[in-house]
Amino acid sequence: MTTFEYELPNPQTEDVKTVFGQQDLIRRSASTIEPPARQLTPMAKLIDVSKCIGCKACQAACLEWNDKRAPVGENVGTYTIPPDLSPQMFTLMRFTEWINPETDNLEWLIRKDGCMHCADPGCLKACPAPGAIVQYSNGIVDFDHERCIGCGYCVAGCPFNIPRISKTDHRAYKCTLCSDRMAIGQGPACAKSCPTHAIVFGTKAEMTEHAETRIKDLKSRGYQNAGLYDPPGVGGTHVMYVLQHADKPEIYADLPNNPVISPVVNLWKGAAKYAGLAAMAGMVAFGVLHRFVEGPNRVTPKDEEEAKQLTEDPRS
Amino acid sequence: MSERYEIDPSDEVHVGERVTVDRYTKAARLNHWLTAACLVLLAISGLAMFHPDLFFLSALFGGGQNTRAIHPWIGVVLFFSFGGLFLRFWRLNLWRPEDGTWMRRLYDVLINKEDNLPELGKYNAGQKIVFWGMSLLILILIVTGLAIWNQYFSEYTTVEQKRYALILHSAAAVTIICVWIVHVYAAIWVKGTFSAMIQGYVTGGWAWKHHRKWLKALVSGKHVDDGKAAPAPAPAGKPGQAAAE
Ligand code: HEM
Ligand code: SF4
């Protein structure tokens, strides 16, 4: 039988052992957990914006793999379709027409938006439901829809405005970094579908190294500010970008310049919780203490007598 | 000082073996208990989302999804129900000169030493602070609550506004729970108070001891049922029990 160069191997038929699972959690929303026994190699997806041709194969692959069907939308005069992320659309190509003030050239910036898989995830910090958001030691931040209560706190917690709450099942959705594919040793569907290899996937160390070569190449072509987007404010991310203009990420459809978990969210989920519980417990403690020290305030028979005299007086 | 700032038209003294004073109509009591039930349910369902250690409380509402879904609706009922109480009670809760004196002698209040306190109208300064505090907090809670009610109103606020709304909502919730603890403890501490909200009346002695100006205003304003005109004088035995407790 002739085999061709491009022929793919047949799919595996024997049982595939999962590579990681619940034992590898490093964070679990609204829970304290034991640190895992082992540390998985941190993985990352690298999105090279300079290589993207905007074909949206990744968007289609994402819908396909996750078995989502977004309703047919409306053309609102942009290539960014649908116009926003949604409970069905975990990833979205955002198109920006940018005129470079230095060269006066029109640059078509196409950024693949979606969950960044922060090392310090704001969604997980904000989530009130135990186990609805989990983080694995390989860097994946994943939602467990069974446990989600649909409050939307993750939306407030996220510095990238990623999670979307379904209006039908009231649960939060976002990119899973194809955790289900990764669990059996495969890469994300989007990376697999990308015809230009603008999306690549591997260990975070490899991806950072690979990015270096890309940045060098871009710099040699005149993109002085080309660089890697791996923002330290959220502890770094497990989805990274190579940007032609890394000094101004905001031109890429408002990619945040220095994303951090909002101080308001930190206060709300940190000091405010302790202060709140302490205040309520303090109030109860005061009541109990007062009860024992001062005791009840009772009306005396004399008071009743006074009242009687008062009420009888005006009649007499 | 106009009489309507001292007493409610429905307040009435009943003269008899034991004097009793009508303090709350049946409608006011129902209104109060509906509000109270809402507040307690809101506190429980809200606390389930407030802290992981309290998440188990969501089981009382049939799980997290139900808790999340029902909490804001109870909030809406609370808002209107409290609105009813507000309309009933606001006038008699206006601040008076004697309230400042009372506050300055709060220590005497706490150690049950009342001889040195001014005579008070229907409410003392503590009750007024609870009233106005709850009013303000419920206003904050409904506004911030709507802002974070994502099921229906997620489009109307930005993410940044939601963050402020969330922290304000939880701060206001904690504060109103603290105010509520004070409110309930005061009713337990000052014997004879519960009957006002359960049977609707207090004993003359209770009114004399705690709200003498109110009692005097009722008597001098002829809000007195001496058994001659009014159809149903209060039963003699019951109020005595309330006072003895
Ligand atoms: C007045 C109308 C109110 C509305 C419309 C409202 C609405 C909300 C909403 C939408 C949430 C987010 C979770 C969810 O979607 O269910 C929430 C959370 C919460 N609510 Fe309310 N609420 C109201 C009143 C109250 C009151 C009176 C209390 C306290 C007695 C309270 C305590 C809380 C707490 C503790 C949380 C959790 C906050 C956190 O996670 O930090 N709420 N409320
Ligand atoms: S919507 Fe779900 S995942 Fe998001 S914070 Fe609430 S419970 Fe957690």
Sign of CA dihedral B135, B139, B141, B142: positive
Mutate to test the pocket of ligand 1, among B68, B141, B180 (most ligand atoms within 8 A of CB): B141
Closest to A312 (Cβ–Cβ): which among B15, B50, B203?
B15
Instruction: Tell whether A314 is within 8 A of chain B (Cβ).
Output: yes
In this complex, how many residue pairs, one in chain A and one in chain B, have their CB atoms less than 8 Å apart? 171
B132 Cβ neighbours under 8 A, 6+ residues apart: B93
> Which residues of B belong to the active site?
183
Q: What letter does residue A11 receive in the DSSP assignment?
A: P
B89 Cβ neighbours under 8 A, 6+ residues apart: B123, B131
Ligand 1-lining residues (CB < 6 angstroms): A 128, 151; B 39, 42-43, 46-47, 49-50, 68, 71-72, 75, 78-79, 138, 141-142, 145-146, 148-149, 169-170, 173, 176-177
Does position A311 have pLDDT exceeding 90, yes or no? no
A147 to B159: CB separation less than 8 angstroms, yes or no = no
Q: Residue A189 is inside which H or E element, if any? A: helix A189-193
Instruction: Tell whether A165 is within 8 A of chain B (Cβ).
Output: yes
Task: Tell me phi and psi for residue B237, to 5 degrees.
Answer: -70, -45
Task: Tell me phi and psi for residue B92, to 5 degrees.
Answer: -80, -5
Q: Is residue A151 within 8 Å of residue A172, measured between CB atoms?
A: no
ipTM: 0.92
Q: Residue B21 is inside which H or E element, if any? A: strand B20-22
User: Hey, where are the domains in chain A?
Assistant: 14-275
Looking from the CA of residue A150, the nearest atom of ligand 2 is 1
Strands B12-14 and B224-225: parallel
Closest to B174 (Cβ–Cβ): which among A276, A301, A305?
A276
A 21-80 residues inside an 8 A Cβ radius of B: 30-31
Residue numbers in chain B where pLDDT is lower than 50: 1, 230-234, 236-245
**Residue A8: pLDDT band with limits 50, 70, 90:** low
Output the pLDDT for position A19: 82
Instruction: Tell whether B191 is within 8 A of chain A (Cβ).
Output: yes
Q: Which residues of B40-51 are buried (b: 16+ CB within 10 A; e: fewer)?
A: ebbbbbbbbbbb
Residues of A in contact with B108 (CB under 8 A): none
pTM: 0.91
**Taking residues A243-250, what's their average pLDDT?**
97
Output the pLDDT for position A13: 66
Q: Name the least confident of A211-225, A247-261, B215-229.
A: B215-229
Whole-Å CA distances, A22 to A26, A27, A183, B56, B73: 9, 11, 11, 22, 36
B151 Cβ neighbours under 8 A, 6+ residues apart: A150, A167, A170, B69, B72
Which structure tokens are listed for A147? 């446990």
Does position A105 have pLDDT exceeding 90, yes or no? yes
Task: Looking at the complex, report in whole angstroms how far the Cα of residue A29 sits from the nearest Cα belonging to chain B.
Answer: 9
**Taking residues A37-59, what's their average pLDDT?**
96
- Best B68, B202, B211 member to test A by mutation, with max A CBs in 10 Å, is B68
The residue assigned the tokens 């890394």 is A246
Output the pLDDT for position A268: 97
Q: Is residue A91 within 8 Å of residue A59, measured between CB atoms?
A: yes
Which structure tokens are listed for A123? 């969604």
- Per the omega criterion (within 30 degrees of 0), is the bond before A36 cis? no
For residues B149 and B147, what is the distance between their CA atoms, to the nearest angstrom?
6
Closest to A294 (Cβ–Cβ): which among B110, B174, B243?
B110
Helices and strands per DSSP (H, E), number in chain B: 11, 4
- The yes/no answer on whether domain A14-275 falls in CATH 3.30.70.20 is yes
Q: Helices in B90-158 by DSSP H: which ranges?
A: 97-104, 106-110, 125-147, 150-153
